[in-house]
Amino acid sequence: MLGVESLRRGRPGRPPRDGGRGAPAVTAPGAPLPLLVACLLIAGLALLPVAYLMVRAVGADVAALDLVLRPRTFQVAASTVALALLVGGGTIVVGVPLAWLTTRTDLPGRRLWAVLVAVPLAIPSYVIGFAFIAAFGPRGALQGMLAPLGVERLPSIGGLFGATLVLVLAAYPYVLLSTRAALLQTDPAAEEAARLLGDRRLTVFRRVTLPILIPAIAAGGLLAVLYALADFGAVSLLQFDSFSRAIYVQYRASFDRALAAILALMLIALTLLVTWGEGRLRRRAGAYAGPVRASRRPATVVPLGRWRWPALAFCSTVVLLALAIPTGTIAWWLVRGVSQGAILRFAADGALNSFTVGAAAAIGSVVLVVPVALLVARYPSRLATIIERATFTGYALPGIVIALAVVFIATSSVPLLYQTLALLVIAYAVRFLPQAVGSVRTALVGVGPRLEEAGRTLGDGPVRAFLQLTLPLLRPALVAGGALVFLTTVKELPMALLLGPIGFDTLATEIWGAASEGFYARAAAPAAILVALSAGTVALLLRAEERPR
């Protein structure tokens, strides 16, 4: 066993399976029963919305089915696929270069840029959407500036183009962060070898760095695409018919839960396709996905030379679009509101509630993610893969669907929990679990089982060995995963509205309450606090990432 392991360098933590080429076993070989049971329960929790949707879909009448099967539904499906592909591609095109520039080059102000380009993670897509319409709409601020030149109207930014743009700006940080983490962890020796073999830096990036980064890029792209699938704010503002908007329209206009359920199940099918694609990419690449590098020689810094200017222009453009315009819009709401005499309410309650629920959900997700990641990393099997995929099903569903599923399940089975903070936190922890899975799984593969084996020989039980030895090493990954969950929780709206205890205001519900009535000035204060709170979290996340394991 040890001899074989030593030959399979680069993959500690993975027991050899059929010489590395055969199909994985159906059941998890050697997975301890309690672990398996815990994972099955977590997967069961994550699949509950699917069960709910099936119950609802069965209630649909035949005419409704006709409606679902008409060409327009396929048109919506096609639009959604197009949006998913464009957002996936766009987030990679934006996120990967930013990750590289902020980790490997002498970009002036590199550390500042690293924070600035990650902060948009904190800004809800509906705020970016609002800001874009305000700035670039046919009669937006840009048109105002161009008016003296005779420009009376700009082309509409709605539709596929606008939705893609806004969602790319809202979701690229997922790709950025996972790619950054991978760049910080990969051994630069392979790149050095490539240079000695005659390649220039950019060629090395294309021929060596990029292929090695594929699993990380795919994992970040997956989160970005699922974010786009679930998003309602941006697509509704920008008038783009995706599945998520179609589902909302069913609830809003026709109160037809059955039809909405059928559409939601179709969206889940699409989600499964996307996660399957990512899994394939990762498996193909995973064969060589090395562990965290042993020697922590820092990668050599690439001097950009005259490329510094285009690089700075690129970073500035992204920060302008994804950060400056949205925060500028918030600030402008604030200023205009104050100048018109609006009274600002400082949302101390909302901020505290958002923080509490976000932190609790983050801790909950982290607690739930450890067994799942452990099973996937240590006992790979078809069952483990299914369990991991199961945790992703709810992630791409619009919040309203999850909220109603939880309403139904809670009122019919655990009425005592209904409209309690605990239920809201559990729902968030399960829904946003996928954001923590990737980083923790990667970290676990890197840590490997050796330390625990050492602990076992020194008299620790398996649980104690894990808690004492492996868990501390997972800390950066857990902090990173928890931070992502925190960020998405504090900006989430429909679940907070419907599942929160009565009178439980969060920053997001306060923004919604004010903005939906057009009181933008009143929305500005909680929005500003939300962005500030989240920016702090992003900084924490970046620090966790750069800390050596």
Partner 1 sequence: MSHVLVDVIPKALQRASAVRVAGLRRAYGSIVAVDGLDLDVRPGEMLSVLGPSGCGKTTLLRLIAGLEAPDAGMVEIGGRRVAGAGSAVPPERRRVGMVFQDFALFPHLSVRDNIAYGLRADPDRNVRVRELLELIDLVDAAARMPHQLSGGMQQRVALARALAPRPDVVLLDEPFSNLDAALRTQLRGDVREILRASATAAVFVTHDQDEALTLGDRVAVMVRGRIEQSDPPEVVYGEPATPFVATFVGIANLVRAELHGRVAITRFGSVRLVGPRAESAHGRALAVIRPEHLDVTEVPDGPADAGAWRVLGRRFTGAEILYEVIAPDGERLWVEAGHAVRRLRVGDLVSLHLRDVETVAFPIEHLGSEPSGPIGVASTATPSSPAEHAPPPGLTT
Partner 2 sequence: MRSSFPRALGGALAAVLLAAACGGSASSALPSSEPLQTSSAMPSTPTSPSASPSGSVTIYSGRSESLVGPLVDRFRAATGLDVKVKYAGTSELSATILEEGDASPADVFFAQDAGALGALAAEGRLAGLPNATLDRVDRRFRSPDGVWVGVSGRARVVAYDTRVLTEADLPTSILGYTDPIWKGRIGWAPTNGSFQAFVTAFRVLRGDEAAKAWLEGIQANEPKVYDGNDAILAAIAAGEVEVGFVNHYYLMRQLAEQGDTFPVRNQFLPNGDIGALVNVAGAGILTTAPNPSAAQAFIDYLLTAESQEYFAGETYEYPLVVGVPADPRLVPLAEIAAPDIDLSDLADLAGTLRLIQEAGVL
Furthest-apart CA atoms within the chain: distance in Å: 81
Alpha helix (H) ranges present in 59-124? Answer: 62-68, 71-104, 110-118
Beta bridge partners of 302: 105
Residue 146 binds partner 2, judged by CB under 8 A = no
Which tokens sit at 31? Answer: 């997975």
Among the listed ranges 287-295, 354-362, 465-473, 479-487, the one in contact with partner 1 (CB under 8 A) is 287-295
Residue 239 binds partner 2, judged by CB under 8 A = yes
Q: Total residues contacting partner 2 (rule CB under 8 A)?
A: 69
CA distance 14 to 449: 9
Among the listed ranges 321-329, 408-416, 471-479, 525-533, the one in contact with partner 2 (CB under 8 A) is 408-416
Give per-residue burial for 429-457: e unless 16+ CB within 10 Å, then b.
bbbbbbbbbbbbbbbbbbbbbebbeebee
> Among residue numbers 3 through 22, which ones bind partner 1 (CB under 8 A)?
6-11, 20
Choose between 351 and 402: whose C-beta lies nearer to partner 2: 402
CA distance 40 to 321: 42
CA distance 225 to 219: 10
Which tokens sit at 542? Answer: 């970046």
Choose between 196 and 253: whose C-beta lies nearer to partner 1: 196
User: Min. distance of Cβ 421 from partner 2 in angstroms?
Assistant: 9
CA distance 276 to 218: 11
Burial class (CB in 10 A: 0-12, 13-18, 19+), 539: middle
Number of CB atoms found within 10 A of residue 75's CB: 12
Residue 198 binds partner 1, judged by CB under 8 A = yes
Handedness of CA 320, 324, 326, 329 (dihedral sign): negative
Choose between 300 and 411: whose C-beta lies nearer to partner 1: 300
Residue 377 binds partner 1, judged by CB under 8 A = no
Choose between 21 and 343: whose C-beta lies nearer to partner 1: 21
Site string for partner 2, 10-49 (x = CB under 8 A): -------------------------------x--xx-xx-
Q: If contact means CB under 5 to 8 A according to the sort of partner, which of partner 1, partner 2, none does residue 187 touch? A: partner 1
Choose between 201 and 522: whose C-beta lies nearer to partner 1: 201
Site string for partner 1, 176-195 (x = CB under 8 A): -----------x-xx-xxxx
Q: Which of 63, 294, 343, 502 binds partner 1 (CB under 8 A)?
A: 294
Q: If contact means CB under 5 to 8 A according to the sort of partner, which of partner 1, partner 2, none does residue 332 touch? A: none
Residue 197 binds partner 1, judged by CB under 8 A = yes
Q: Which of 413, 457, 459, 548 binds partner 2 (CB under 8 A)?
A: 413
**Rounded (to 5) percent helix, strand, coil in the chain:** 80, 0, 20
User: Min. distance of Cβ 215 from partner 2 in angstroms?
Assistant: 31
Site string for partner 1, 201-240 (x = CB under 8 A): ------xx--xx-x--------------------------
Q: Total residues contacting partner 1 (rule CB under 8 A)?
A: 32
CA distance 368 to 357: 16
CA distance 273 to 250: 24
Give per-residue burial for 162-201: e unless 16+ CB within 10 Å, then b.
bbbbbbbbbbbbbbbbbbbbbbbbbbbeebeebeeeebeb
Choose between 55 and 190: whose C-beta lies nearer to partner 1: 190
User: Min. distance of Cβ 457 from partner 2 in angstroms?
Assistant: 30
CA distance 43 to 251: 27
User: Min. distance of Cβ 192 from partner 1 in angstroms?
Assistant: 5
Residue 367 binds partner 2, judged by CB under 8 A = yes
Residues interacting with partner 1, by CB under 8 A? Answer: 6-11, 20, 187, 189-190, 192-200, 207-208, 211-212, 214, 285, 287-290, 294-295, 300
